[in-house]
Amino acid sequence: MFCLEKKEIFQKPLEEIIEKLLPSQIDIDFHIECLKAQAVIARTNMIREYLKIDKSNSLHCSYRFYSQRELEEMWSEKYVENIGKIKKAVEETKGLVITMKGKPIMARFHDTCGGSTENSENVIKNEVNYLRKVLCLYCQNSPNLIEEKDFSIEDIEKALKVKFHLDNPYSKGEIKGFFEDIERDEENRVLSINVGGKVFSGKEIMEGLHLNSTRFYMTPLYIRFTSKGKGDGLGFCQYGGNELANRGYSFLEILKYYYTGVDVEKYSLPGIGNPLYGKTIMIDPGHGGKDSGYIGELGLKEKDIVLEVAKMLREEIEILGGEVYLTREVDEERFLSKRSEMANRIRPDFFISLHMNYFPNSNMKGCEIYCFRGDTESREMGNILLKNLEEVGLVNRGVKEGNFYLLKSIGVNTILVELGFLSNLEEEKCFSEKNFIKDLSRAITLGILEYFEY
């Protein structure tokens, strides 16, 4: 079990977080419509959590997350069979949140209400207009409908930190509802006693229960507590919801039954799970078509590598909510003037041109980034990207000033990245591996995120 830190919350897509959270909140064996209702609940609460974190600047999200292994242990043989349903429930409710007057509600839920849910003021002190009591005759088959628990007097004393005064046993010694109206003589022998509404003499009790004398008294040793339902009864009753789903109700109908007067609508916060929301990045894979760029000893072509990186980058950036344009999608020629014209028309927040380097001395390796003279923003972006790329093993050759056509002609922040050297066999090998391309793209994406965050 682990806690998500603020940074992770910002970086992980919301839907991925919900998918992780859901199997620890509800029985994964439940009907898909019920799981969907819980997915919307989890998303609603997560967005509230996010708003809280955002405001308080605290480092942790109060939700606990379970690892896959812990979840497999939790659900044992049910896991494999049902985990696909969890994914589906999240996907089919993507972005949906329960709201009241446009704001995400406090989506409380519990296991089994036992006949009716609760009014909020009885549980959390304040009156919440969507957490009202509703009748629920649907959780009658819940295994948690009735719970019986026996406590010894000692257990109760310990748990509640109280002391029962049973030290003068011969005084009255009644147990209301069981043994009442006890009359004793001056020697404490029982003369008469009312047991369950019927009056007995002390002698009758002594004989009936095979006691040694009529000088007896009673002490209760165990108390049985029977409780109906499970949980605080606020909001959504999961077993009730499951039964409604079995009867053909949709997750929307289920949610609206348990939460009074709410709406269920698409809701997206720019930040949550979409930390690059609102940012536009244009990626420019250099060369193309007849122009292969450099070609390595193993035959790897610059135009192909940079296109592969560009596409992977688009995937990674889009996961974080950013918008991505590529100057070319396929292996075809693109004049520099055309690339620059595209950039000036779309005006992205950043333009990143991708290339591979080449040098006669095959020992030369590493990544270098060019920006236009005096463009401090691009220099900062370059430094962050290089720092991140060091983590995937690329040598940091620094940010340099360049006088390239694209750097001069594009009116937005622009960098040109020479990812590595095709004249270096070791680097060429790296760039031929799919996993390396993925790690590299991720490193660049996180660098872009870092740049925009600080």
The two three-digit tokens of residue 375, written as one number: 């463009």
- Region near Zn ion per CB under 5 A, out of 17-25, 118-126, 234-242, 436-444: 234-242
For residue 286, state whether it binds Zn ion (rule: CB under 5 A): yes
Torsion of CA 53, 59, 61, 65, to 10 degrees: 160
- Region near Zn ion per CB under 5 A, out of 30-38, 105-113, 171-179, 192-200: 105-113
- Region near Zn ion per CB under 5 A, out of 147-155, 229-237, 378-386, 409-417: 229-237
Give the residue among 432, 118, 390, 95 at the shortest CA–CA distance from 264.
95
Query: Least distance to Zn ion from the beta carbon of 294, Å?
Result: 7
Query: Which H or E run contains 20?
Result: helix 14-21
Angle at 31 between CA 145 and CA 80, to 5 degrees: 105
Query: How far apart are the C-alpha atoms of 54 and 77, rounded to whole Å?
Result: 39
Give the residue among 404, 447, 396 at the shortest CA–CA distance from 281.
447
- Region near Zn ion per CB under 5 A, out of 109-117, 175-183, 185-193, 254-262: 109-117
Q: In this complex, which beta carbon is closest to Zn ion, that of residue 139 or of residue 205?
A: 139
State which of positions 357-416 bind Zn ion (CB under 5 A). Answer: none
The two three-digit tokens of residue 136, written as one number: 């629920």
Site map 192..211 versus Zn ion, x via CB under 5 A: --------------------
Q: What is each CA distance from 328 to 283, 302, 335, 442, in whole angstroms?
A: 9, 14, 11, 20
State which of positions 113-132 bind Zn ion (CB under 5 A). Answer: 113
- Burial letters for 183-199: b for 16+ Cβ neighbours within 10 Å, e otherwise? ebeeeebbeebebeeee
- Region near Zn ion per CB under 5 A, out of 39-47, 186-194, 352-360, 421-429: 352-360
The two three-digit tokens of residue 37, written as one number: 């209702």
Q: What is each CA distance from 164 to 151, 157, 158, 178, in whole angstroms?
A: 14, 7, 11, 18
State which of positions 293-322 bind Zn ion (CB under 5 A). Answer: 293
Give the residue among 359, 424, 372 at the shortest CA–CA distance from 393.
424
Contact status, residue 42 vs residue 105, Cβ threshold 8 Å: no
Contact status, residue 180 vs residue 194, Cβ threshold 8 Å: yes
Q: In this complex, which beta carbon is closest to Zn ion, that of residue 291 or of residue 329?
A: 291
Q: Which residues contact 90 (CB under 8 A, 6 or more apart)?
A: 15, 18, 19, 22, 39
Residue from 104, 202, 233, 240 in contact with Zn ion (CB under 5 A)? 240
Q: In this complex, which beta carbon is closest to Zn ion, that of residue 276 or of residue 386?
A: 386
Q: In this complex, which beta carbon is closest to Zn ion, that of residue 136 or of residue 182?
A: 136
Q: In this complex, which beta carbon is closest to Zn ion, that of residue 193 or of residue 237?
A: 237
Query: Least distance to Zn ion from the beta carbon of 432, Å?
Result: 17
Please state, as a whole number, how many other Cβ atoms lie within 10 Å of the Cβ of residue 387: 13
Q: In this complex, which beta carbon is closest to Zn ion, that of residue 240 or of residue 402?
A: 240
Q: In this complex, which beta carbon is closest to Zn ion, that of residue 85 or of residue 355?
A: 355
Q: How many residues bind Zn ion (CB under 5 A)?
A: 8
Query: How far apart are the C-alpha atoms of 416 and 243, rounded to whole Å?
Result: 59
Q: In this complex, which beta carbon is closest to Zn ion, that of residue 286 or of residue 402?
A: 286
Contact status, residue 235 vs residue 110, Cβ threshold 8 Å: yes
Q: In this complex, which beta carbon is closest to Zn ion, that of residue 193 or of residue 342?
A: 342
- Region near Zn ion per CB under 5 A, out of 91-99, 258-266, 291-299, 317-325: 291-299
Q: In this complex, which beta carbon is closest to Zn ion, that of residue 21 or of residue 136?
A: 136
Site map 41..70 versus Zn ion, x via CB under 5 A: ------------------------------
Sign, CA dihedral 88-90-96-100, equals positive
The two three-digit tokens of residue 359, written as one number: 């040098």
For residue 136, state whether it binds Zn ion (rule: CB under 5 A): yes
Residue from 314, 355, 365, 379 in contact with Zn ion (CB under 5 A)? 355
Residue spans of beta strands (DSSP E) within 273-316? 280-285
Query: Least distance to Zn ion from the beta carbon of 243, Å?
Result: 8
- Region near Zn ion per CB under 5 A, out of 29-37, 287-295, 314-322, 329-337: 287-295
Per this entry, what is the length of the chain? 454
- Region near Zn ion per CB under 5 A, out of 126-134, 136-144, 375-383, 421-429: 136-144
Residue from 28, 131, 237, 422 in contact with Zn ion (CB under 5 A)? 237
Residue 93 burial by Cβ neighbours in a 10 Å radius (0-12, 13-18, 19+): buried
Q: In this complex, which beta carbon is closest to Zn ion, that of residue 62 or of residue 141?
A: 141
Query: Least distance to Zn ion from the beta carbon of 338, Å?
Result: 16
- Residues in the site for Zn ion, rule: CB under 5 A? 113, 136, 139, 237, 240, 286, 293, 355
